[in-house]
């Protein structure tokens, strides 16, 4: 027993190295507690003359999916080793969950292991590729994210690298996927007084600077917005002292092809007070993330540029605040959108659809093959689906299939039933809320947006439910 305890001691010189290692083990396919080491874990176990498996056996029952154990002083190069449970290796795409279970298990397990070692004040972690280096990298990068820029005491900054002889290209791709998502998370977490419309646009511009040879950035001013006759967008922004910005990104990954196959539009409300229709104070601080659509669209284009994807993408992000003031929209006001349609604004807290309406009209000028807009649009979507999936409203089965293959989405109805609820309006062509108020709120919002779309392939992603991760361990990062 004394001999075994020696493995848990930590030599001072090893501890000062501050390096950690995350290794994975699979559950047995049989109904027992036996474990199967990954290739990297088996290699470490051989170097340690079997000590790793010995300690796993005596330290408790079989390591289940998502659980971890920490061992100290086992390896001279790594004072801390986290062994994480990956579940069963035979699992693949799950027909009920609509994801690759094995990949998701790797992401979640590696994320948990990296966080545990970060809490041990380690500055560098090597990560087992678990036979899927991309998923392991995504888990490591996503799991180590934290927003503490404004705190005096910050978490330990950790660098990661692939351990052993896994797929380096897969690891590098996974890092870029994870960093892209973390940029969106960073923008959404930052306080609204630190990420104004102008600061948001400057942040994206700076992030795209290394790819200036194939990315063009236009930071459009209020004067340009007025010239474009974007009356719906301007009506929302006029309540704030912060001037609006219309951010336009052109990624030319296929310069020989002038066509724009994909156009992305993101809602960019950098803070949503509700305007005159003021939101209740409880939870209003989360409305700093109401530009999540713009954050994800811009982050996606940055990631595409980093990966040098052979595709042309245009991204549009109307950016402004929705604030109450003497100049703000009032319930009952009528504004005119870019396409000439008039809108009765009965609820100033339904402002996201107003700025998207003008952006969608402008999007058609590029004659794209497909338009996809993303927005933290309605609380009704959170009620309907929670944080498990994004609600997608679309006029195209083709777009539906692509989105379904690449992400966790659930198709929602885009019936004329909902269109009639926004076109039956007393003062204007459209009302910005449905006739029956909260009933089918996500559906009437999508029906409103469809009034500004003529493209045959369009999808509206309502990401309000997935804008926050509550107590779930959802780390899905799709690689299509």
Write out the catalytic residue numbers: 279, 353
Say if strands 124-128 and 159-163 run parallel, antiparallel, or are unpaired: parallel
Region of 337 (left: φ > 0; alpha: ψ -120 to 50; beta: rest) is beta
DSSP 8-state symbol, 122: -
Helix orientation angle between 292-307 and 197-208, rounded to the nearest 10 degrees: 10
For residue 110 the two structure tokens come to 């590696």
Sheet holding 333-336, edge to edge: 333-336, 342-345, 430-431
As a three-state string, the secondary structure of 296-362 is HHHHHHHHHHHHCCCCEEEEEEEEEEECCCCCCCCCCEEEECCCCCEEEECCCCCCHHHHHHHHHHH
Task: Tell me the C-alpha distance between 265 and 284, whole Å.
Answer: 24
Handedness of CA 147, 150, 153, 158 (dihedral sign): positive
Task: Tell me the C-alpha distance between 465 and 453, whole Å.
Answer: 24
Write phi, then psi, for 413 (nearest 5 degrees). -75, 140
**Helix H or strand E segment including 52:** helix 51-58
CA angle 467, 473, 474 (to 5 degrees): 50
The whole-angstrom distance between residue 447's C-alpha and the CA centroid of its chain comes to 25
Beta-ladder partners of 374: 266, 461
Task: Tell me the C-alpha distance between 274 and 126, whole Å.
Answer: 46
């Amino acid at each position: 027993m004394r001999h075994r305890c020696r493995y848990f001691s930590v030599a001072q010189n090893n501890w000062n190295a501050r390096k950690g290692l995350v290794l994975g083990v699979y559950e047995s396919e049989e109904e027992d507690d036996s474990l199967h080491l990954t290739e990297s874990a088996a290699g470490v176990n051989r170097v340690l003359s079997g000590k790793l498996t010995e300690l796993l056996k005596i330290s408790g029952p079989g390591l289940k999916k998502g659980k971890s154990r920490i061992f100290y002083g086992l390896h001279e190069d790594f004072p801390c080793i986290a062994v994480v449970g990956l579940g069963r290796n035979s699992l693949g795409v799950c027909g009920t969950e609509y994801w690759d279970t094995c990949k998701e298990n790797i992401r979640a397990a590696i994320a948990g292991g990296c966080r545990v070692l970060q809490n041990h004040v380690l500055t560098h972690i090597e990560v087992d590729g678990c036979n899927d280096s991309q998923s392991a990298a995504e888990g490591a990068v996503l799991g180590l994210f934290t927003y503490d820029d404004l705190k005096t005491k910050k978490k330990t900054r950790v660098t990661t690298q692939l351990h052993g002889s896994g797929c380096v290209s897969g690891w590098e791709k996974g890092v870029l996927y994870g960093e892209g998502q973390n940029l969106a998370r960073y923008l959404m977490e930052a306080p609204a007084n630190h990420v104004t419309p102008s600061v948001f646009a400057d942040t994206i511009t700076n992030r795209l600077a290394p790819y200036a040879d194939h990315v063009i950035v236009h930071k459009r001013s209020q004067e340009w917005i007025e010239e474009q006759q974007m009356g719906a967008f301007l009506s929302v922004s006029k309540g704030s002292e912060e001037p609006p910005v219309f951010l336009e990104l052109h990624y030319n990954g296929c310069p020989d092809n002038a066509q724009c196959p994909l156009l992305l539009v993101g809602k960019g409300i950098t803070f949503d007070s509700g305007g005159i229709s003021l939101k209740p104070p409880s939870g209003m601080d989360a409305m700093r993330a109401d530009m999540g659509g713009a954050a994800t669209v811009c982050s996606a284009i940055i990631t595409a540029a980093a990966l040098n994807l052979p595709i042309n993408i245009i991204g549009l992000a109307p950016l402004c605040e929705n604030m109450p003031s003497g100049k703000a929209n009032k319930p009952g006001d009528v504004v005119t959108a870019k396409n000439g349609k008039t809108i009765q604004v009965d609820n100033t807290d339904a402002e996201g659809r107003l700025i998207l309406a003008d952006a969608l009209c402008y999007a058609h000028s590029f004659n794209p093959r497909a338009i996809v807009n993303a927005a933290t649009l309605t609380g009704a979507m959170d009620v309907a689906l929670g944080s498990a999936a994004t609600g997608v409203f679309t006029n195209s089965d083709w777009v539906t299939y692509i989105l379904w293959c690449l992400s966790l989405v659930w198709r929602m109805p885009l019936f004329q039933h909902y269109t009639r609820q926004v076109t039956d309006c007393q003062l204007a062509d459209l009302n910005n809320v449905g006739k029956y108020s909260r009933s089918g709120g996500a559906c009437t919002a999508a029906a409103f947006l469809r009034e500004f779309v003529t493209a045959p392939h369009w999808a509206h992603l309502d990401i309000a439910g997935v804008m926050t991760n509550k107590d779930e361990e959802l780390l899905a990062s799709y690689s299509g």
